[in-house]
Amino acid sequence: MSRIEPLPMRLRAPAQGFPKGWYRVADAGEVLPDALLPVSWLNDQFIVFRAADGQAQVADAFCPHMGAHLASHDGCLRNGRIVCPFHKWEFDAAGGTLAHIPYSALPPGEVGLKMHATRELDGMVLMWYHPHGGTPEFEPFETPLSRNQDGWVLYGVKEWITTCPMRDMLENLFDGPHIVYLHNSGGAPVLKSIARTPYGMRVDYDQDPSQTDAGVTGFRSDFTGITLNAQIFEGTAFTTQFYNTFTPIDDERFVLHSRLHIKDSGSAEINEAIGKAFTDRFMFEVEQDLKVLDYKRHLVKPRLCAGDGPIHQYRKYAAEFFVD
């Protein structure tokens, strides 16, 4: 096997910054009451925590006073306030407003933490990001699971760090031939329809069940922008939900995080068999994809041919989320 290093991203993809959208920044279970969770995403650092009412919140990690990282040293969340480790200024955890300075009256004007719009969905904490700031332009896709949690079980969670150009990861879902020629699958699913939605896009497929390991009859794929993707698979005797999220750590790498939920079949044994079949196939395909995607260049003008799938249609959609 050849040993290659990925070229730096600036030599592999146009510099367009990170797309606007909703990004997974933590798992809900990691965000405990009265604690600050420091995270590093999008060439930046944030703190994730819960306000007194339990709502997850995301704020910039750096104190507006003199820039200390709020989760460094003994920085903490106490009695509903975030206390900076440096000069012990206190900020209200619900809205980030400056609430107390131990050695001075509050200064006039608005002082506070930079807060980011936050949502909790299917066990994940999502943060809105736009290079120019501002309020969310759309809401994340509401999955069947988020609408009704009854009867779903979480089978497993997987995570990869990849050096693939980020937009090319989703482009891969529209690349039919690679499913046969890279993954050696018996056949690629047949695209039925692509429709725009308030959160982004829904893609419906037909699948010949004899061509899949798990007897899938059809699936649909809901994109929230180009940073979240929910795939709902239907089979003769099951429904599963794969939720994939794509969050850049920096310009070179992003995290692909995938969680598989299964509609409870009523039998732990059958759930296990369904979960294992999906996870095995999914892991196999992602790992094969990354062996190629981690090193690829984003070609602005790919030399496509008949049968390559709706790559240009996807690119037109993806371009909407890159902001100048």
In angstroms, give the least distance from the CB of 83 to ligand FES. 9
Closest listed residue to residue 114, CA positions, set 74, 144, 137, 82: 82
Contacts to Fe ion from residues 36-75, by CB under 5 A = none
The single-letter code of the amino acid at 226 is I
Residue closer to ligand FES (CB basis): 54 or 102: 102
End-to-end CA distance of the chain, in Å? Answer: 40
Q: How many angstroms separate the Cα of 312 from the Cα of each of 175, 244, 319?
A: 11, 22, 10
161, 290 in Cβ contact below 8 A? no
Query: What residue 63 binds from ligand FES, Fe ion, none (CB within 5 to 8 A, per partner kind)?
Result: ligand FES
165, 253 in Cβ contact below 8 A? no
In angstroms, give the least distance from the CB of 49 to ligand FES. 16
Element (H, E) at 91: strand 90-92
Strand partners, 149: none
User: Scanning the structure block, which residue is given the tokens 């050096």?
Assistant: 163
Whole-angstrom Cα distance, residue 313 to residue 23?
Answer: 23
In angstroms, give the least distance from the CB of 71 to ligand FES. 12
Residue closer to ligand FES (CB basis): 86 or 295: 86
Question: Residue 289 interacts with Fe ion (CB under 5 A)?
Answer: yes
Binding mask 81-120 for ligand FES (x = CB under 6 A): ---x-xx-x-------------------------------
Query: What residue 289 binds from Fe ion, ligand FES, none (CB within 5 to 8 A, per partner kind)?
Result: Fe ion
Q: How many angstroms separate the Cα of 142 from the Cα of each of 88, 126, 209, 281, 309?
A: 40, 13, 27, 25, 27
Residue closer to ligand FES (CB basis): 88 or 220: 88
User: Scanning the structure block, which residue is given the tokens 């609430």?
Assistant: 99
Binding residues for Fe ion, rule CB under 5 A, total 2
Query: What residue 65 binds from Fe ion, ligand FES, none (CB within 5 to 8 A, per partner kind)?
Result: ligand FES
Q: Which of 30, 45, 60, 65 binds ligand FES (CB under 6 A)?
A: 65
Contacts to Fe ion from residues 248-287, by CB under 5 A = 285
Residue closer to Fe ion (CB basis): 96 or 189: 189
3-state secondary structure at position 122:
coil
Give me the residues that bind ligand FES (CB under 6 A), please: 63, 65-68, 84, 86-87, 89
Give me the residues that bind Fe ion (CB under 5 A), please: 285, 289
